[in-house]
Structure 1
Amino acid sequence: MKAPSSRTAPAFAAFSLIALLAACGPAPEKASEHAVPAATASAPTPAPTPPAATPGAPTKVIGLEGLGDLKLGQPVPAGGTWAERGAQTSDACRTVTSPDYPGVYAIVTEGKVQRITVGQRSDVKLVEGVGVGSPEKDVKSWFGGFREEPHKYQDAPAKYLTAPNAASGDPAVRFEIGSDGKVSLTHVGMMPVLGYVEGCS
């Protein structure tokens, strides 16, 4: 091999030094075919946290125990928003309402809450999500075995659907299905008041 001329020797030496350093350095890492590109790698997104309940806000769920601070089988809570409003039809049977729950009223006899009724203007539902406006098939999918009775004031398919244990004296559920096949009223309470078809009668 011919030795480099004096004019090309510095350039040749520099090139040789670069090649030597490259050969001695670490080999470049081979990218894994499963690696996430650096530009798109990120920490997993945390699941959204449900909003915290506002203290004192009315609950939108009714159960066999009652609705909010209004409890079945107990007196109307003193100092709360539930109170008698408007004309009452009987001294023995009273109704109470609350501005916190539009479309809901409760029947009180012998000083205790016997039934809570959820009506058309309310978005209160049972924990299963069934409430006013739910189709009858949704009621039956959650509450099988309910006793069916013809509606007193509307033509079929309107009807009453009452829990089979209602006669036991324990709190139970009764639905009124309207002529459109949907829940028009939901009642939670104890017999015989649970079965009243006209408020206090």
Structure 2
Amino acid sequence: MKRIAALAALVLLPLAACSSGPEEPSVTASASEEALASEAAPSEAAPAVAPASDPKVLGLEGLGDLKIGQPVPKGSSWASRGAQESDSCTAISSPDYPGVYAIVTEGKVRRITLGANSTVKLAEGIGVGATEGDVKKWFAGFREEPHKYEAAPAKYLTAPNARPGEWALRFEIKSDGKVGLIHVGEMPVLAYVEGCG
């Protein structure tokens, strides 16, 4: 029980140190974000907290060897696969992490996104397909914003103080009340609603 409380504190402590920022749209169609994360039947969230050493656990610092704020590791399986690529912003993926993609700007990873085909979860067991209630049990106080492309009750739940230079968490809740995407990263890229182009 102490380990669960400690893990929750480690996740929530950095989130509380963040501040809000405006959403910054990109030039790509909104369907590209869902396409990058692959649309498939979401799975139910696991109730137990996964160990931090598990390579299939997304943390505020990153996923496996892919770290927020760092360059893509040389020799890793993460690479651009032509989905969204430009001089200023690139989406990368790895065959080792189906349903996951990352956004790279200025040569550094700025956001990692879990999509429908992903088996990766947060340490709390929250993954794509979890309910909004499950999210709020672990992440109470997250800022709610209307979803840009889906009718209410769809929404974004963002760490209360997300700001540039701080790692934060953002959930996209779909109109069925379930998590459609989970993002970890830095503002303003954390709040991009259309991937990058």
- Asked whether the two chains share a fold, i.e. TM above 0.5, the reply is yes
Runs of 4+ in 1 over 3 A off after TM superposition: none
Which has the larger share of strand?
2
Deviation, 1:67, is: 0.1
Separation in 2, partners of 1:106, 1:99: 13
Distance 2:119 2:175 in 1: 20
Task: Tell me the C-alpha RMSD between the 2 structures.
Answer: 1.7
Map of 1:68 onto structure 2: 64
1:88-147 deviation per Cα after TM superposition (whole angstroms, max 9, x unaligned)? 342100111000000000000000000000000001110001110000001001001100
More moved, 119-128 vs 81-90: 81-90
Counterpart of 1:111? 107
Aligned counterparts, 1:1-201, within 5 A:
59-167=55-163, 169-200=165-196
Select the structure with the greater relative contact order (CA < 8 A; seq sep ≥ 6): 2
What are structure 1's unaligned runs of at least 5 residues? Answer: 1-52
- Between Structure 1 and Structure 2, whose CA radius of gyration is higher? 1
Matched position secondary structure for 2:82:
coil
- CA separation in 2, counterparts of 1:88 and 1:151? 22
TM-score by length of 1: 0.70
Identical counterparts, % of pairs: 72
Point out where structure 2 has 5 or more consecutive residues left out of the alignment: 1-50
Q: TM-score, normalised by structure 2?
A: 0.71
Alignment length (residue pairs) = 146
